Structure 1
Amino acid sequence: MDVSDVGVEAIQEEVVVAADNLDDGSIVVLPGLRVALSPNIIELSDSLSGESGDDIFVTDSDEGDIVQDSDSESNDVDVENSAPPSPRQPTAMDPPLPQLQPSPQQPTASEPALPQLPLQTSPTPGTAREEGTHDPPTGGGEVTVADPPLPPPDVPTTPVVPASSARTQSLLNASLAEFRSPKRRKRSSPEKSAPTNVESDDDSDCCPICFEPWTTSGSHRLASLRCGHLFGQSCIDKWLKGQGGKCPQCNAKAKRQDIRVLYTKSIKAVDTTERDRALADLEKEKEHRRKAELEAAHSRLQYQLCIEECNRFRQELNTARTQLQQLKSQLSSGQRLSQTLTPDGATQTTVNTSGKRFVMDKTVKIWEAGQCRVLAYSSSLGALIVSQPSSSTLFPGFGIKKLSAMDFKTSQYMTIHSKAIRDICFHPTFDNGILLSCGLDKTAKMTSIVSNTVVQTYHTPVPVWSCMWNIDDPNYFYTGLMNGSVLEFDIRNTQTHVQQLNTGGSKSPVVAMQYVPRDHTALFRPGGLVVGQLDRTSFFENKGAEQPRLNFLPLEGSLTSLSFDNHTRHLLASFRPTAKHSMVRHQLCEMSCSNLSTDPGVTDNLCSCDLVHCFQGGRTQSVLSKSALIPNPSDPNKLLVCAGDETSNAIHVWDCSSGQQFQRIAAGAFVVDLTTFAVNSQHFLVALTEKMLKVHKWC
């Protein structure tokens, strides 16, 4: 097909060429010929019509002439980008193309007038070519559509429609709308798949100075500064040379000597922001819970104090009413008041039925330079243990000296701690010769007195001021630290402590501890640990597998020592003089508890103590000395309170049954520690000063 444009401005919608006298009876319909821009000369060779009787559509577009076969399946080809097809050369085997006679056709009212396109038949080979026609290609006849002649400028053009048969007209009317705009189909091509290897924009793989990826070797290998930021080694080296010695990211001071090469193949930072935030929230919740528990303990204590105060006021009111009744009766009988009153001293006189007391037996020199601090007695070994500094300059430190309880002769000295020893003790019920000691060198040690060797050492974060065995379970012991906390250790676990107590609240040192064993037959049944600090005293009730419950005891003052008697469940607390209390006080209290729960099956104990007696000593006390609560050797059901007095350099002994001073023993120096023991039915009271050991016999 050959299409050529001429510069004629004409508008023609469609041209139909039809013939009824083809060899096979087919019809050639040429709808869709659009000459909106200019008329075209369209030449159809007989090879395009074929012998199949298919309809041939010819359209004109901006991209070129397109020939479409209605029944062909090649319409899927992208015709927009394809080149116009070249006309096929006719061969000798092709049949001749019959002539198509033009037939005039009148336009209808609904159709626009179409200009007439003259149709003529190309001559067969051997005939003369008429003037105004194109030379057909060799091989058979051909139908040629020629351009209409140009009309004069002033004469309007009258469109002439070629005539056609009724069949052609009906086909034209039926397919006019269908073939007005031929569809163009494109060959479907597979969509391009998105690239899978997308280069990551993560800044963690590149140097923040040059924005180039760092390497695992070479000059641009991964390196860091002291602040922790990562760079390429060559980049950070150049930066520190000319930027005043600061980190490019945080402006922290840095030097070239701070550059550290990191030997790693890749770096992947795990985002733990949510986890860290959750842990911080957990710690806050724990702190709030501890504060809530402290507030609840304070509230329970205030509640108990209010109840006790109300009971005391009620007793005073009843006493006042009784006295008032007695006064009224005396006034009515005419007696004088002075004759009915009895002096208080008469009711408080102490009756010593046995007539025995402590008598000085002997004095043993421990160390001439002083600094002796604590003592303990081992019932299984029959030996007294006294702490003292080392007597040798080659082996400095602090240790213990052993004395026989039979003749009070010293046997040997053993260095244990590098700094001063604060407390020592044997297990009260399971005495196997293992001495527990603690000192200011941040250690607690278990020492075998039999083999004179340190069995185990336990380290603490701060210096240790006191220690105590668990009487209910000999595998556990407690250490009171200088920061106010208490660590519980298991002798089977040599790495670290198993529990930490008294973590909230006061940070004053734990100067004394006493363990209260369980006793289901006593009025005070719970067991736990009494912790004495300089500013307060608390009781941690042992709840088994649960966390120990904190209870504050109503004891006020600057505490110096604690002592507990398991048989009577009494607690002795000694206090130094303060601005509120000008005298040394030794308060004897009885432990008590009450169930706050209304449900009988639920145990919610509020542990406290009730004051029994308050014994007063001197007006000065500069050393944290220890007092002792011991049974009366003549009557084990009665208790004696023994305490050193710094003002008089003596030992004061009070009888707890009467509340009066039982005995005053001269010591010649200030007593820092006291203990009592019995050997061969003979009871002894031993007092330790800084240099000497005073032994007193009960007789």
Structure 2
Amino acid sequence: MNDAEYDEFKDLKNLENENKEPLKTGDVTFGEDSDNCPICFEPWTSTGPHKLCCLRCGHLFGYSCISKWIRSQGKQGRCPQCNSNAVRRDIRFLYTKNLRVLDTSERDRALADLAIERTLRRKAELEAAEHKAKYQLLHVELTQLREEFQNVRTVSQVFVRHSALPDSKSQSVDSPPSGTHRGQYELMKSLPLSTTGNCRVMASCDYLNVLCVSQPSTNPIFRGFGVRKVTEAFVALRQRNLAAQGRCWTTDSAFSRSYRVAPVVQTYQCPSPVWSCCWASPDPHRLFAGCSNGSVLGFDIRFTSGPVTTLTVPENTSPVIGLQYVPRCGDSTRPTAGGLLVGQLTKITFMAEASSRPSSNHLSSETVTTDEAVPHVSDLSSMVEAGRHSPDLFGANPNPPMIHSFQAVTDYSPHSFPLEGNLVSLCLVPENRHFLASYRPSQRLPRVRHLLAELVSEDLEVGTIVEHCTYTCRELHSLWAGPRMKMLTRTCLFSGSGGMTAVAGCEDVGGAIVWRCDTGSRLQTLHPPDATTENPVIDVCPFTTTGSDQFNLALLTERTVHFYRWTSTSL
């Protein structure tokens, strides 16, 4: 189309528009769609991606629509209205007052300002959280310095008082009261276990006065890992490192797909590698295994065919690095339901349990339940006959015996705790339901944090009726350690005659730190002979001896176990 034809076409179009008058009703115009893009049928805008533009032929479009149209047709691009040839360089922006366009400049400016304000607010929140964490760290250090100053001043006053006495006969007159007792842990013995290292975990049995430590095998026939009884022989178990739990029987998970119970040797095949395990104490038959896919498998040693329970944490598949069983408690001031404390790398969840009896009716599945189907009572005779057979220890029986029909079925309901961080260890004191969760340093909290918390329950009431009970945790103290943790270490929380005590290895001090849990203050720093920054304390295990109720400590490095005894002193 040349210029003369274009002018003629324009005059005819203007004449047609003059003869055709649109109908108007108030502020609304009918009869034309000249205000909308013919491709998307949306109004043009004065700014933004849908800005008004035209092609060489003169037809009007939104810029985003016509650019996509031409791009989709490639080199054979044509106008959607007149089918004339068109390319991207033919697009021209229009700045006109005769056509109505939607002015979005104010909106675009407001959206840009909103995005900037959101960014600044998020930055301010992060800075406030960082300053709060630093304030907590400084507050803890200030408290520790005040306590150390008070202790030094007390000791100096005692020495001054003793030096002012005229002779030793009158020493008992001004001696401090006998009720002021203090103590500390003293090194008794260091026992080398392995020359190659790779010792990882410990577990004690106070009933047998036995301490078990995992270590590499020294037997050339068995090249894997096993358990060393401190005063007895090596017990060969498997080819990988172990995760131990304390009972007269031992269980190990070893980061493989099998779960083993010894000395009554039972091996359960699991769908994914097992990272942690625990017994359902005081029940002597049930035990749990935490897997790398975030699931928890429940076993009963009376049934060797496989797991009887499979638990999953909602919306979380991170590995389970710690399991602690919480027994049922009858005290009305604390939660009465038992359950399982599941520690994953990114969260902690309490799986509250409630036992029920199976029947021929369908069991409710609103909560996490066992995966085994409950048979009908009419099948009782066949099941009793199958239960008389020997356990299928080697998996040779294609039809293993089913679970007894009168076995209690346990329902589990998950309750997530509002805790954040990279969890590395989880420890529990069942008597008072206090637990210790250890977290690695992060950008927000640049130091190792051991969080002491208590498991509490909250009743959800509707009117005067209690609908159900929810569980959460109440944070008591934050125990701070050094700024680094290269190796995953296990902490310990136990309750002795002097109250609850927490012990954790610290790479920064090259040893272990002991805290009082009632005040959150640091009691003592232990320095084993071979413990360094590169060879830290990786496990802590409290134990008692016959005739004493005071907890002693065993500290484990990669090659040696160190025994510490509590010694009481009087000022």
Report the TM-score, using the length of structure 2 for normalisation: 0.57
Partners of 1:692 and 1:391 in 2: CA distance: 15
Equivalent positions of 1:253-268 (< 5 A) are: none
Give the equivalent residue in structure 1 for 2:425: 561
Give the corresponding residue for 1:392: 219
* Aligned-residue CA RMSD (Å): 2.2
Q: Which residue of 1 aligns with 2:338?
A: 527
2:261 paired with 1:446: yes
Alignment partners' CA distance in 1, 2:282 and 2:511: 36
- CA distance in 2 between counterparts of 1:581 and 1:504 reads 27
Number of equivalent positions: 338
Structure 1 residue 504 displacement after superposition: 3.7
Shift of 1:441: 2.8
TM-superposed deviation, 1:603: 4.6
One of 538, 546, 556 as aligned partner of 1:672: 538
Aligned to 2:244: 424
* Residue of structure 2 in register with 1:455 after alignment: 265
Question: Does 2:252 align with 1:437?
Answer: yes
The 1-side partners of 2:554 and 2:340 are apart by 26
Corresponding residue of 1:510 = 320
1:589 maps to 2:404: no
Report Cα offsets for 1:451-506 as digits up to 9, x if no partner.
xxx52111111111100111242211100011111000111110111111125422
Among 295, 310, 316, the alignment partner of 1:485 is 295
- 1:547 is aligned to 411
Q: Which runs of 5+ in 2 are unaligned?
A: 1-141, 155-178, 357-409
1:370 aligned to which of 179, 193, 197: 197
Q: Does structure 2 conserve the Cα–Cα contact (< 8 Å) formed by 1:573 and 1:588? A: yes
The aligned runs of 1:104-115 (5 Å cut-off) are none
Say yes or no: does 1:643 pair with 2:511.
Answer: no
* Equivalent-residue separation in structure 1 for 2:524 and 2:249 (angstroms): 34
Partner of 2:558: 690
After TM superposition, give the deviation of residue 560 of structure 1 in Å. 0.7
Instruction: Please say if residues 417 and 441 of structure 1, whose CA atoms lie closer than 8 Å, have aligned partners that are also in contact.
Output: no
Contact 1:418 1:441 in 2 (8 A): no
Which residue is 1:656 aligned to? 517
Provide the secondary structure at the position in 2 that maps to 1:663. strand
1:415 lines up with 2:229 in the alignment: no
Q: CA deviation at 1:344?
A: 9.7
Which aligned pairs between 1:598-637 and structure 2 lie closer than 5 A?
Answer: 598=462, 600-633=464-497, 635=498
Tell me the secondary structure at the aligned position of residue 261 of structure 2.
Answer: strand
Q: Give distance in 1, aligned partners of 2:563 and 2:306.
A: 40
- 1:263-274 to 2 correspondences below 5 Å: none
Amino acid at match of 2:304: T
1:585-608 Cα distance to aligned partner (Å, 9 max, x none): 001111111111325554511100
The structure-2 alpha-carbon separation of the partners of 1:353 and 1:519, relative to structure 1 and needing over 3 Å to count, comes to: farther
In 1, distance between residues paired with 2:267 and 2:280?
18
> Which deviations, in whole Å up to 9, do the C-alpha atoms of 1:324-373 show, x marking residues without a partner?
xxxxxxxxxxxxxxxxxx99965896799422111111100010100001
- 2 CA distance for matches of 1:539 and 1:461? 23
Give the SS at the match of 2:244: strand
CA distance in 1, matches of 2:543, 2:515: 18
Residue type of the partner of 1:417?
R
Opposite residue 307 of structure 2, the aligned amino acid is H
Instruction: Give percent identity, aligned residues only.
Output: 32
Letter in 2 for 1:690: E
Deviation readout 1:374-422 (Å, 9 max, x if unpaired): 1111122211101011113322111111113xxxxxx21111112221x
Give the letter for the 1:447 counterpart: A
For the residue of structure 1 that corresponds to 2:490, the secondary structure is coil
3-state SS of 1:542 partner: strand
**Could you list the runs of 4 or more consecutive aligned residues of structure 1 that deviate by over 3 angstroms after TM superposition?**
342-353, 599-603
- Give the 3-state SS of the residue equivalent to 2:411 in structure 1: coil
In structure 2, relative to structure 1, the CA distance for the partners of 1:603 and 1:698 (3 Å cut) is: farther
Q: Give the secondary-structure state (helix, strand or coil) at the position aligned to 2:458.
A: strand
Q: Which runs of 5+ in 1 are unaligned?
A: 1-341, 405-410, 428-432, 449-453
Distance 1:531 1:688 in 2: 25
Residues 399, 413 of structure 1: 8 Å contact kept: yes
